[in-house]
């Protein structure tokens, strides 16, 4: 194999970015964690092609890119249901397959979910920035020149590390199923829970919300539930005049802010790290990947959980990774 293995971007899709498991450790400086919206799918794709879990792959939302490979490669596509095609011939999802030099990788239309992850044996070879190859497009940092891919870009591929698991698809029960109908997102009520009335504390979890079309890597906005009513108070010094304002605070990954009490926004991988909006609670870590697979207009309900339930859910996700490891090793 030539030492300059690469692929050329023929069509970029809607927004295709280089992502790994992210850039934790700088959120207090305003630099978000970035990384794959669906980490499980990235890890699965990497393991299928013999990469370490944290190798950089491509994340494409709603529309797949068209990529032409300069050298032989091994590729796996996971995440949303969107058939990979080699020179027009359909390939299995959630499985590694060989690509020959000169072949074109393209995609069918989106059937379920929102984001595919494309892993290439050897990983996407872009420079690390603050310990990560993830793209933070809003900050123009990391990934391929700090931005989503464009037609004509030539993206380098690293040297393959381990053997790929060729030709065998990850069983359905291990994959995260792309949510089809109603999705339940588990959330823990937070520090500012007391700011809304008991009626709103109930309605928030009772109502069905729908993903707003502007939902993206920064935050997922939801519409359609009843507005939240705030407990009257004299706004403290430093808080804005709207009842949904608080004295500036840290925004955790997964926190659900509700500007004006009307439309909840779950902050995701490229979110801002702090500000003055009230947060109703935080989506548990085990359900964050699921958000990355939600399409606009899909119905969602939030479900209140406590810390024990959140930790049990996190443990169940770890067990899913263990089952994936056993499948790859088997």
* Residue of 329, 310, 328 whose CA lies nearest to 78: 328
Least distance between other proteins and beta carbon 63 (Å): 5
Residue 82 or 174 having the CB closest to other proteins: 82
- Cα gap 58→223, rounded to integer Å: 29
The residues binding other proteins (CB under 8 A) are 14-15, 61-63, 109-111, 114, 213-216, 295-298
Structure tokens at 302: 């939030």
Residue 34 or 295 having the CB closest to other proteins: 295
- Cα gap 199→202, rounded to integer Å: 5
- Cα gap 18→123, rounded to integer Å: 10
Residue 91 or 298 having the CB closest to other proteins: 298
Least distance between other proteins and beta carbon 202 (Å): 27
Least distance between other proteins and beta carbon 250 (Å): 26
Q: Is 44 helix (H, G, I), strand (E, B) or coil?
A: helix
- Cα gap 301→202, rounded to integer Å: 12
Number of other CB atoms surrounding residue 227 within 10 Å = 13
Least distance between other proteins and beta carbon 217 (Å): 9
Residue 257 or 295 having the CB closest to other proteins: 295
Strand 219-223 relative to strand 209-211, pairing: antiparallel
Residue 27 or 107 having the CB closest to other proteins: 107
Residue 129 or 148 having the CB closest to other proteins: 148
Q: How many residues does the chain have?
A: 330
Residue 14 or 312 having the CB closest to other proteins: 14
Q: Tokens 């359900």 appear where? A: 287
Least distance between other proteins and beta carbon 110 (Å): 4
- Cα gap 127→80, rounded to integer Å: 27
Least distance between other proteins and beta carbon 60 (Å): 11
Residue 76 or 294 having the CB closest to other proteins: 294
Q: Is 248 helix (H, G, I), strand (E, B) or coil?
A: strand
* Residue of 79, 59, 82 whose CA lies nearest to 217: 59
Q: Which residues pair with 129 in a beta bridge?
A: 132
Least distance between other proteins and beta carbon 134 (Å): 18
Least distance between other proteins and beta carbon 61 (Å): 7
- Cα gap 127→22, rounded to integer Å: 14
């Amino acid at each position: 194999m030539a030492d300059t293995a690469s692929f050329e971007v023929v069509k970029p899709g809607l927004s295709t970015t280089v992502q790994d498991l992210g850039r934790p450790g700088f959120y207090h400086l305003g630099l978000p964690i970035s990384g794959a919206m669906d980490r499980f799918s990235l890890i699965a794709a990497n393991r299928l092609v013999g990469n370490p879990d944290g190798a950089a792959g491509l994340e494409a939302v709603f529309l797949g890119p068209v990529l032409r490979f300069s050298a032989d490669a091994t590729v796996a596509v996971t995440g949303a249901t969107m058939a990979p095609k080699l020179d027009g011939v359909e390939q299995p999802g959630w499985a590694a397959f060989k690509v020959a030099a000169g072949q074109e990788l393209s995609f069918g239309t989106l059937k379920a979910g929102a984001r595919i992850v494309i892993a290439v044996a050897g990983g996407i070879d872009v420079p690390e920035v603050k310990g990560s190859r993830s793209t933070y497009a809003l900050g123009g940092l990391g990934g391929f020149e700090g931005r989503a891919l464009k037609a004509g870009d030539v993206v380098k591929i690293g040297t393959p590390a381990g053997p790929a698991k060729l030709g065998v698809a990850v069983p359905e029960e291990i994959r995260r199923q792309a949510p089809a109908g109603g999705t339940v997102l588990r959330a823990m009520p937070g520090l500012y829970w007391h700011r809304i009335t008991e009626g709103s504390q109930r309605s928030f979890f009772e109502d069905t919300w729908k993903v707003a079309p502007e939902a993206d890597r920064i935050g997922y906005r939801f519409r359609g539930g009843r507005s939240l009513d705030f407990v009257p108070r004299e706004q403290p010094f430093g808080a804005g005049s709207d009842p949904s304002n608080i004295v500036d605070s840290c925004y955790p990954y997964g926190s659900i802010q509700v500007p004006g009490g009307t439309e909840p926004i779950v902050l995701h991988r490229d979110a801002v790290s702090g500000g003055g909006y009230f947060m109703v609670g935080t989506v548990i870590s085990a359900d964050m990947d699921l958000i990355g697979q939600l399409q606009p207009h899909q119905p969602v309900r939030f479900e209140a959980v406590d810390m024990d339930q959140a930790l049990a859910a996190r443990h169940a996700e770890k067990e899913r990774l263990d089952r994936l490891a056993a499948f790859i090793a088997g």
